[in-house]
Amino acid sequence: MGQRQVVVGVASALLATSVLAVPPAASAVPAAPKATESAPEVSPRSSSKVWLYDSPQRAVARAAAGAAPSVPKGTGPVRSGTQVSFSLADRMEVKVNVGSGNLMVNTTDLTLPGIAGNLTLGASFNSLMLGSDLSAGAHGPGWRTRAGQDVKLYPADDGSVTYAAADGVVGTFTWSGSAYTTPGEFKAKLVKNGTGWKLTENESGKELFFTSDGLLDNLWFV
């Protein structure tokens, strides 16, 4: 009984003299660091026009300002490019642009024969599309339809129109005040057609009609 009283007394004394450590009030959660705009990563063996990656912040800022989409040079089967090609399967081909380093993968799902030219349905992957303003197509990042919804015009506030053609070739038609100047990526003519545009390919004579939003609305083989 005496030992129990001693233990209780010691415990009471410790509680009376102990200092309760109260944790300090939680400080306000620090604000997330502001995302910084990084400069485009440039290919070490190419000019400044062939960059490998651009920050999402720069892409959003360009779109908000009504600017033309920014895409590296050398995407798609460019006319003046040197490309090494080989087949992966009966309906899948790989091409590498030795100038830009772009890796392109084309699939041929269906070919519709025509009098003036065939219409190829499938998907196209361009490695330089990743990180660009047109990085995601109908089939995912880097992948675009070879015909259809990814063949599109992108009008900008300065009057220029960027054309994303089949297989990922991209070029910008600039407005001179009375007509559009054709970029080096294409042999074609772009004219206004009502509220939209008509693009005519010089070699095939194919005519593509686009709405005011730049969507492909009609296609004619002449």
For residue 21 the two structure tokens come to 């450590």
Asked whether the predicted pLDDT for residue 166 surpasses 80, the reply is yes
Per-residue confidence band for 74, with pLDDT thresholds at 50, 70 and 90: confident
Whether the CB-CB separation of 104 and 95 falls below 8 Å is answered with yes
Position 24 in a domain: no
**Domain contains 189:** yes
For the stretch 2-43, pLDDT in tens is 544 544 444 454 334 444 444 455 455 455 444 444 444 444
Residue 50, in any domain of the structure: yes
Residue 36 lies inside a defined structural domain of this protein? no
User: Is residue 163 classed as helix, strand or coil in its secondary structure?
Assistant: strand
Pick the more confident residue, 2 or 111: 111
Query: How far, in Å, CA of 100 to CA of 128, rounded?
Result: 9
Quick check: 98 and 83 in contact, CB under 8 A? yes
Could you tell me if residue 20 is inside a domain? no
**DSSP line for 5-27:** HHHHHHHHHHHHH----PPPPPP
Question: What mean pLDDT is predicted for residues 91-106?
Answer: 90
Global pTM value: 0.68
Q: Which helix (H) or strand (E) holds 119?
A: strand 119-121
Total structural domains in the chain? 1
Cα distance between residue 128 and residue 153, in whole Å: 19
Domain that holds residue 76: 41-220
pLDDT at 145 over 60: yes
